[in-house]
C-alpha cells in the first residue's frame, strides 16, 4: 500500500508540473500588469498545434521532436504572447481593479477569436504529438512500472522550479520583478523600465505555457477546445496559491496535483470528474480559510 | 425622436402589446422558438446585470444557476417521477439555495477574486453534473414536457413570466434596498458608515439574481426538452454578457435592448457559420474597449450633456 501511495505521489508531481507551467505565467503576469489573462490557455493550446504542425512539415526525426518540444513550439507562442501583451496594455485603462475585471472580459473575447482561428486552421480533429523514444518506455520504481514521460515531467518541475525560484529570489533581475509586482508605480519612479520588464515576463509566461502545451500534447490530445479546460485549471491553481504570486503558483500546483492524483486513486469509481471535483473542493476550503490565497499579496 | 406626447406614448405601448400578443399566430414555430429563447436570455441578462451592473461585480459563473434550474426540474421527474408542478417548484428553489451557499462564501471578495471564485463555483456544478451517469453525464438529460405544437401557449406563459419577473426586478432595483446596493457599489466604506449592512445586502441581491436565473433556467429546459452540462458552464454566459455590454450595464432597460439586438444578430450569424465564437468575441472586445458604457449609457451621457 505504501508503495502505491508513493507512486501516486509521483503521478501527482507529474500532473503538478503541467499545472505549474501554465499557472506560473498567469499568476506572475497578473501580479505585474493586473491583467487576468483568460487567453493564457489559448497559448497552451496553440503551442501543441504549432509543435504538431511543424513536426509534420520537418519530419519525425528524434532531434526534431526534442527541438519542437523544448524550443520551437513554445517560441512560436511566445510571439503570440508578445502580441497579446501589446493588445492588452493598449486597451487597459482605469484603476487596477477595473483593469483586472475588464481585461478578464477582454481576454475572453480574445480566447473566443483564437478558438475559431484554431478551428479554421486545424479543424475539429483531435491531434496528438508523438513522444521521442526516450520518453516512450517505463522505468521500475519500487517494483512497479512508471512511465518515462512522468519522470520527464517531474524533472521539468524540479529543474524549472529551482531555476525560477533562484531567478526571482536571488538575482537582481528577480528583485526588479518582485518590486514591480509589489508596486509598479514606485518601481517605475526608481528608474526601472517597467514596460521592458513586463514584456520579458510576458514572454517568459507565454514560453512556459507553450512548454506545458507541447508536453501536454504528448498524452492528452489537442483540439480547438483544449484551452477551456486548461484555463480553468490554471485559474484554480493561481487563486489557491494567491493571484500574482510565483510561490503560490508552485505550491498551488503541487497541492492540486497531489490531491487530484490521490482522489482519482481512491475514488475513481465515482466517475470521470472526480479529479475536478476535488480540485474545486480544495479551492472552496482554501477560500474559506484564506480568501486571498495561500501566498496572497506576497510574491 | 423623443416621444413627448403622453397619449402617443400610450398608443405606442398599446400597439406593441397587441403586436407581441398576436405575434405567435403569424410566424413559424421555428422562429417562435427563437423568440421564446430570446425572452429567456433577456431574463438571464437582466438577472445577470443585477449583480454586474448594480452590485458592480462580474459573476462569471452565473450560468450555473441557469443550468441548475433546468437540471433541478429534470432530475426529480426522471428519477423520482415527481409531479411536474412540484418539479418546477424544485427547479426554481434549488438554484436560489445554491445561490445562498455561494453568496455566503464569495460576497466578502471583490472584483477579480469575486469573478474567479464565482466561476469556480459555477464550473463545479457543471463538472459535477457532467461526471455522473445518473445526471446525464456527457450526453445530458432529455425530458419532453411540451410538444412542438404547444409552443403558442408556452409562448404566452414565458411572456407572462418574463414580464412579471422584469417588473418585480425593476421594483427591486428602485426600492430602498436597490438604492442601498447601488450606494455600496459606488462607495462601500461610505455605505457601511451610514449603517448599511454591506455583506447582507450583497448576499440578498445575489440570491435574488440566482432565483430569477432559476426561473429562466426551468423554462429554458422545458423549451428545448434537453439539458446539458454546457448550460451550466461559463460559455452559456457569453450571450447575456454581450447583450448586457451592448445595452449598457447599470441601467435597467439596457440589457433588455442590448440582448434584443445582439441575440438576433447572433442567431443569424450562428445559423450561417460555425465561426460565431469570433463574432461574439470580437464584439465583446470592441464593446469593453471602445464602448464600455453601452447604448443606454451613451444616451444618458448625451442627455446630460444637452441639459
Cβ contact, residue pair B275, A106, below 8 Å: no
Reading the block at residue B89, the C-alpha cell is 417548484
Please answer whether residues A232 and A19 qualify as being in contact, where contact means their C-beta atoms are separated by less than 8 angstroms: no
Residues 6+ apart with CB under 8 A from B152: B24, B25, B32
The residue assigned the cell 440566482 is: B210
pTM of the model: 0.88
**How far is the C-alpha of A39 from the C-alpha of A55, rounded, in Å?**
25
Q: Express each pLDDT in B176-217 by its tens digit.
A: 888 888 888 888 888 888 888 888 888 999 999 999 999 999
Chain B residues in contact with A264 by the CB 8 A cut-off are none
B138-166: b (≥16 Cβ within 10 Å) or e? eebbebebeeeeebeebbeebbebbeebb
Residue B277 has, within 13 A of its CA and on its CB side, a CA count of 19
Record the cell numbers describing residue B36, joined without a space: 421564446
Chain A interface disruption, residue of B129, B285, B294, most A CBs within 10 A: B285
- Whether A271 sits inside 8 A of B120 (CB atoms) is no
Dump pLDDT digits (tens) for B100-127.
998 888 888 878 888 888 888 888 888 8
CB A153 within 8 A of CB A236: no
Q: So what's the pLDDT on residue B45?
A: 92
The CA distance from A73 to B205, in Å, is: 47
Task: Please judge whether A100 and B112 are an interchain contact, meaning their C-beta atoms are less than 8 angstroms apart.
Answer: yes
Q: What share of chain B is helix, strand, coil (3-state, %, to 5)?
A: 80, 0, 20
Cα–Cα distance measured from residue A179 to residue A170, given in angstroms and rounded to the nearest whole number = 13
Give the mutation candidate from B53, B289, B291 for the A interface (greatest A CB count, under 10 A): B289
Residue listed under C-alpha cell 462607495: B187
Please state the three-class secondary structure of B132-190 as a single string.
Answer: CCCCCCCCCEECCCCCHHHHHHHHHHHHHHHHHHHHHHHHHHHCHHHHHHHHHHHCHHH
CA pair distance A246, A254, nearest whole angstrom = 13
pLDDT for residue B38 = 92
- pLDDT class for B128, splitting at 50, 70, 90? confident
Q: How many other C-beta atoms can be found within 10 angstroms of the C-beta atom of residue A176?
A: 18
Backbone dihedral region of A123: left (phi > 0), alpha (psi from -120 to 50 degrees) or beta?
left
pLDDT confidence tier of residue B165, bands split at 50, 70 and 90: very high
- B51 versus A223: the higher-pLDDT residue is B51
Look-up of cell digits 504542425: A53
Query: Which residue reads 468575441 in cell numbers?
Result: B281
Q: How far apart are CA A290 and CA A143, in angstroms?
A: 41
Contact between B120 and A239 using a beta-carbon 8 Å cutoff: yes
Which residues of chain A carry a pLDDT beneath 50?
none
Q: Do A51 and A214 meet the contact criterion of CB atoms below 8 Å apart?
A: yes
Residue B244 in contact with residue B52, Cβ under 8 Å?
Answer: yes
Domain locations along chain B: 29-233
Write the CA distances from A129 to A52, A80, A215, B126, integer angstroms. Answer: 6, 21, 9, 29
Chain A positions with Cβ closer than 8 Å to B: 30, 36, 91, 97-98, 100-102, 104-106, 108-113, 115-117, 119-120, 228, 232, 235-236, 239, 243, 270-274, 276-277, 280, 283-284, 287-288, 291-292
| Closest-CA residue of chain B to A278 | B124
What is the architecture of the domain spanning A7-126+144-289? Answer: Orthogonal Bundle (1.10)
Confidence at residue B3, expressed as pLDDT on a 0 to 100 scale: 52
Res. B2: pLDDT tops 70? no
Specify the range with the lowest mean pLDDT, choosing from A126-140, B30-44, B60-74.
A126-140
Calculate the CA dihedral of residues B275, B276, B278, B282 and round it to 10 degrees: 150
8 Å CB contact of A280 and B127: yes
How far is the first Cα of chain A from the last one, in angstroms, to the nearest whole number? 38
How far is B35 from chain A, CA to nearest CA, in Å? 25
Smallest CA–CA distance from B119 into chain A, residue: A232
Please report residues of A whose CB lies closer than 8 A to that of B106: 287
Query: pLDDT tens digits, residue range B277-299?
Result: 888 899 988 888 888 888 888 88
Rg of chain A taking only CA atoms, in angstroms: 19
State how far the alpha carbon of A295 is from the alpha carbons of A229, A243, A282, in Å.
Answer: 24, 8, 15
Binned at pLDDT 50, 70 and 90, residue B4 comes out as low
Amino acid at each position: 500500500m505504501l508503495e502505491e501511495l508513493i507512486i501516486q505521489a509521483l503521478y501527482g508531481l507529474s500532473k503538478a508540473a503541467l499545472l505549474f507551467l501554465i499557472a506560473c505565467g498567469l499568476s506572475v503576469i497578473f501580479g505585474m500588469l493586473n491583467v487576468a489573462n483568460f487567453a493564457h490557455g489559448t497559448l497552451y493550446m496553440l503551442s501543441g498545434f504549432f509543435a504538431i504542425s511543424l513536426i509534420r512539415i520537418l519530419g519525425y526525426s528524434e532531434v526534431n521532436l526534442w527541438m519542437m518540444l523544448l524550443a520551437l513550439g513554445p517560441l512560436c507562442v511566445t510571439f503570440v504572447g508578445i502580441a497579446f501583451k501589446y493588445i492588452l496594455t493598449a486597451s487597459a485603462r482605469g484603476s487596477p481593479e477595473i483593469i483586472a475585471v475588464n481585461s478578464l472580459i477582454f481576454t475572453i473575447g480574445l480566447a473566443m477569436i483564437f478558438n475559431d482561428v484554431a478551428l479554421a486552421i486545424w479543424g475539429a480533429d483531435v491531434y496528438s504529438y508523438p513522444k521521442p523514444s526516450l520518453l516512450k518506455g517505463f522505468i521500475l520504481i519500487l517494483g512497479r512500472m512508471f512511465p518515462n514521460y512522468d519522470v520527464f515531467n517531474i524533472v521539468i518541475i524540479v529543474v524549472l522550479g529551482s531555476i525560477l525560484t533562484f531567478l526571482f529570489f536571488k538575482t537582481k533581475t528577480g528583485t526588479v520583478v518582485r518590486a514591480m509586482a509589489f508596486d509598479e508605480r514606485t518601481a517605475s519612479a526608481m528608474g526601472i523600465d517597467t514596460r521592458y520588464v513586463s514584456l520579458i515576463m510576458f514572454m517568459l509566461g507565454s514560453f512556459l505555457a507553450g512548454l506545458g502545451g507541447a508536453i501536454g500534447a504528448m498524452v492528452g490530445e489537442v483540439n480547438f477546445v483544449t484551452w477551456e479546460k486548461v484555463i480553468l485549471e490554471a485559474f484554480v491553481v493561481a487563486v489557491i496559491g494567491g493571484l500574482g504570486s510565483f510561490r503560490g503558483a508552485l505550491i498551488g500546483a503541487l497541492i492540486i496535483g497531489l490531491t487530484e492524483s490521490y482522489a482519482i486513486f481512491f475514488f475513481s469509481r465515482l466517475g470521470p470528474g472526480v479529479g475536478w471535483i476535488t480540485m474545486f473542493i480544495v479551492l472552496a476550503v482554501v477560500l474559506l480559510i484564506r480568501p486571498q490565497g495561500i501566498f496572497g499579496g506576497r510574491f | 425622436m423623443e416621444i413627448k406626447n403622453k397619449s402617443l406614448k400610450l398608443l405606442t405601448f398599446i400597439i406593441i402589446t397587441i403586436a407581441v400578443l398576436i405575434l405567435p399566430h403569424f410566424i413559424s414555430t421555428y422562429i417562435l422558438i427563437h423568440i421564446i429563447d430570446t425572452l429567456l436570455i433577456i431574463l438571464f441578462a437582466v438577472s445577470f446585470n443585477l449583480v454586474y451592473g448594480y452590485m458592480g461585480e462580474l459573476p462569471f459563473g452565473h450560468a450555473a444557476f441557469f443550468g441548475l434550474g433546468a437540471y433541478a426540474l429534470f432530475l426529480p421527474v426522471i428519477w423520482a417521477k415527481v409531479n411536474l408542478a412540484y418539479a418546477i417548484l424544485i427547479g426554481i428553489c434549488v438554484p436560489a439555495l445554491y445561490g445562498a451557499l455561494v453568496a455566503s462564501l464569495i460576497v466578502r471578495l471583490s472584483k477579480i477574486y469575486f469573478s474567479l471564485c464565482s466561476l469556480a463555483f459555477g464550473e463545479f456544478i457543471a463538472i459535477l453534473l457532467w461526471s455522473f451517469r445518473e445526471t446525464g453525464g456527457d450526453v445530458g438529460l432529455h425530458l419532453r414536457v411540451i410538444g412542438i405544437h404547444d409552443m403558442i401557449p408556452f409562448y404566452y406563459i414565458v411572456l407572462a413570466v418574463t414580464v412579471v419577473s422584469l417588473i418585480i426586478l425593476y421594483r427591486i432595483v428602485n426600492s430602498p434596498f436597490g438604492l442601498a446596493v447601488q450606494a455600496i457599489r459606488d462607495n462601500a466604506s461610505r455605505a457601511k458608515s451610514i449603517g448599511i449592512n454591506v455583506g447582507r445586502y450583497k448576499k440578498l441581491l445575489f440570491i435574488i439574481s440566482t432565483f430569477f436565473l432559476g426561473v429562466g433556467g426551468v423554462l429554458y429546459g422545458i423549451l428545448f426538452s434537453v439539458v446539458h452540462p454546457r448550460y451550466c458552464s461559463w460559455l452559456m454566459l457569453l450571450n447575456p454578457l454581450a447583450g448586457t455590454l451592448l445595452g449598457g450595464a447599470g441601467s435597467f432597460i439596457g440589457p433588455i435592448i442590448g440582448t434584443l439586438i445582439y441575440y438576433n444578430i447572433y442567431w443569424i450569424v450562428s445559423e450561417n457559420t460555425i465561426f460565431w465564437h469570433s463574432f461574439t468575441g470580437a464584439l465583446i472586445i470592441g464593446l469593453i474597449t471602445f464602448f464600455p458604457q453601452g447604448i443606454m449609457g451613451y444616451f444618458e451621457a448625451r442627455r446630460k450633456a444637452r441639459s
